[in-house]
Chains A and B, each alone.
Chain A
Amino acid sequence: TERRKGHDEL
């Protein structure tokens, strides 16, 4: 499991 890097959610 990795931390999400880009913020792709609103």
Chain B
Amino acid sequence: MNLFRLLGDLSHLASIFILIHKIQTTRSCRGISFQTQALYVTVFVARYIDLFFRWISLYNFFMKIFFIASSVYILYLMKYRYRPTHDPSIDTFKVEYLVGPAVVLSLIFNYKFEFTEILWTFSIYLEAVAILPQLFMLQRTGEAETITTHYLAALGAYRALYIPNWIYRYFTEDVVDPIAIVAGLVQTGLYLDFFYVYFTKVLQGQKFELPA
């Protein structure tokens, strides 16, 4: 464990608390893509199946349980509790275009052709693009509540912080994980446009609005 990874994980935790806080205080999931949230459940379940056969640490164990449980809870909030506040007509990204290629790529580019290993690889590829329905929705509406942008910024910071973590691990532990690194770079790259608007507008106290 190094500082970058810890800060990345804490940022990930923070993003989830911000999202739940947003939904509960505004009593609405307006502006949140159900498809992206459903993809995250898929990602966590596929990746953390190793809870059943691999012990890493208490930290790792509780974080995995938390990410699975909280993502399922968010789906529940969106699907049942605050269902009327979700507008499927603006959440129209075709998730097949993300899941399909992630399945195919994980069957081709993996470390070992084993079921759980392919599931892990699939989860890495799917996570890289899981934010796209959310960003697509943002693009469509052209604006977002400030709290929603804080959620996205914390989520983007999480993967961004994993990059210095990999560099650090390369020098200190002499290990590289090319699949995680390539997918992580893609994932972070997807946030660049968002980060630009976030830093130049939201952090200056303005509303998140995209140019028409």
Chain A residues in contact with chain B, CB under 8 A?
1-10
Give the residues in chain B near A3, CB-CB below 8 Å. Answer: 111, 175-178
Do A1 and B64 contact each other (CB < 8 Å), given the known contacts A7-B50, A10-B9? no
Q: How far, in Å, is A9 (CB) from chain B's closest CB?
A: 7
**Is the CB–CB distance between A10 and B12 below 8 Å?**
yes
Complex CA gap A10/B64 in Å reads 7
Q: Which residues of B contact A (CB under 8 A)?
A: 5, 9, 12, 47, 50, 54, 56, 60, 63-64, 67, 111, 120, 162, 165, 170, 174-178, 180
What secondary structure prevails in chain B residues at the interface with A?
helix
B60 — which chain A residues lie within 8 A by C-beta? 8, 10
A3 to B176 alpha-carbon distance, docked (Å): 5
- Within the complex, the shortest CB–CB distance from A7 to chain B, in Å, comes to 6
> How far is B68's CA from A10's CA once the two chains are assembled, in angstroms?
12
Residue in A3, A4, A10 whose Cβ sees the most chain B Cβ within 10 Å:
A10
Contact present for A9 and B175 (CB under 8 Å): no
